[in-house]
Amino acid sequence: MGSGHLRDRAAIAGVGYTPFSANSGVSTLTLAVDAILAALDDAGLTVGDVDALATHRVGDSTPPWVVAPALGVPEVTWYLDQFGGGSVSHSVVGQAAMAVAAGIATTVVCYRAVNARSEFRMGGTGRGPAPVFDVQYQAPYGLLAPSQQFAMYARAHMIAYGTTHEQFGHIAVNQRANAAKNDRALKREPITLDDYLASRWIAEPLRLLDCCLETDGACAVVVTSVERARHLPRPPVLISGAVWGGGDSFLSGTGTDFTVSEAARVAPRLYAMAGAGPADIDVAEIYDCFSYSVLVQLEDYGFCPKGEGGPYVASGATALGGTLPVNTHGGFLSEGYVHGLNHVAEAVSQLRGTAGDRQVPGAEVALSTAQPGYVLAGTSALILRADR
């Protein structure tokens, strides 16, 4: 099977959100239902059209077999309950595209619903370690939270390439400027580099303003065939490339250079599937659990040479009006953190041309990516394209 087999076989026909907050006051089931209904409404579809549901979770959300009957879905022909956090977020959409291309499903609602601030904080405060393989070698040293793990790799990048605190700061400042143009964003007050440098350490070299906003909320997208999407109200956004995979971790024999993320491994396959390269990307919504995650992926998806992510972000290239606007919604650092689908939904808005004050003029091709694989040894990403 050629790598282009999945190219432009499925499309995103609708997106939906709940409000983002620090305390939703409702269950993750309610969040899921609200986001899905909003996405179906956006797509011009109803619950009666849905025949498949897909999500990912780490014991923190409500699975498809609970959500489907709660919505009144007539019959489920396929579902996906993917284990994992941010590294698999985009694989959920990719697998939905596979199900559509394979004829197993016609209308898949992909959702992520989480009370990540009021119920289950990924940052780990007050929570015991999860019993996964490598935690036993980390937790006894007080190494547990994703911010700490990413800080370890951010330091490795600083050591290898001279990356600076200020360069991380440019990412946070840029995304806040974008969030100021986004009504959904939780943090809209502009910040300066000085504000960034004055924010408190979480785990050196990462500060509070390097970290995503643990958020209550949900996001959903509707995936269907391209042919069907063309008969729906919204302009279709084609899924031109979808990739997930990886393999490196700190296990012996699988890696010696932790300044290279799993994105470097999957990027060639993604670009080949989409028939596109870095120069074709008009806008990028890049997984930003922490600022460093953006920097390393800009390198590993080929937007700048390895090691030059720091100077690249400091150059203004990633700002609105730059050569590659990044995280136009403000990202997890400023819009809110629902683990990736809000990045996909923002890419859809950009490709529809409906992103308002933060619209990238004429955006036709978007890259959106998942967590680059340091916590679970894999990543996923999409290339989306306007159907015109």
Under the binding rule (CB under 8 A), the answer on residue 277 touching another protein is no
83 belongs to the binding site for another protein (CB under 8 A): no
Instruction: Tell me: does residue 164 bind another protein (CB under 8 A).
Output: no
Mask: binding to another protein, 198-227, rule CB under 8 A, as x and -?
--xxxxxx----------------------
How far is 73 from 94, CA to CA, in rounded Å?
22
Query: Per rule CB under 8 A, is residue 148 in the interface with another protein?
Result: yes
Tokens of 298: 């800009």
* Least separation in angstroms between CB 317 and another protein: 27
C-beta of 306: minimal distance to another protein in Å? 17
Candidate list 1, 2, 252, 388; residue touching another protein; CB under 8 A: 252
- CA distance between the termini of the chain: 27
Tokens found for residue 259: 């300044």
Using CB under 8 A as the binding rule, whether residue 140 contacts another protein is answered as yes
Contact 175, 160 (CB under 8 A): no
CA distance 105 to 66: 19
Distance in angstroms (rounded) separating the CA atoms of residues 11 and 240 = 9
The kind and range of the H/E element at 105 are none
The DSSP annotation for 315-383 comes to: TTTTSTTSSS-B-TT-HHHHT-BSTTHHHHHHHHHHHHT--GGG--TT--EEEEE---SSSSS-EEEEE
Q: CB-wise, 27 or 164, nearer to another protein?
A: 164
Task: Give residues 96-135 in contact with another protein (rule: CB under 8 A).
Answer: 123-126, 128-129, 131, 133-135
Q: How far is the CB of 249 from another protein (least distance, A)?
A: 10
Distances (CA, A) of 373 to 9, 172, 320, 370, 381: 27, 21, 27, 8, 11
Which of the residues 2 through 41 are near another protein (CB under 8 A)? none
Say whether 17 is catalytic.
no
Is residue 147 at the binding interface for another protein, with CB under 8 A as the rule? yes
Task: Say what angle helices 165-179 and 291-300 make with each other, to 10 degrees.
Answer: 100
Q: Quick check: is 287 catalytic?
A: yes
Least gap, CB of 61 to another protein (angstroms): 22
Nearer to another protein, 17 or 374 (CB): 374
Binding site for another protein (CB under 8 A): 123-126, 128-129, 131, 133-145, 147-148, 151-153, 155-156, 159, 200-205, 250-256, 258
Residues taking part in catalysis: 287, 337
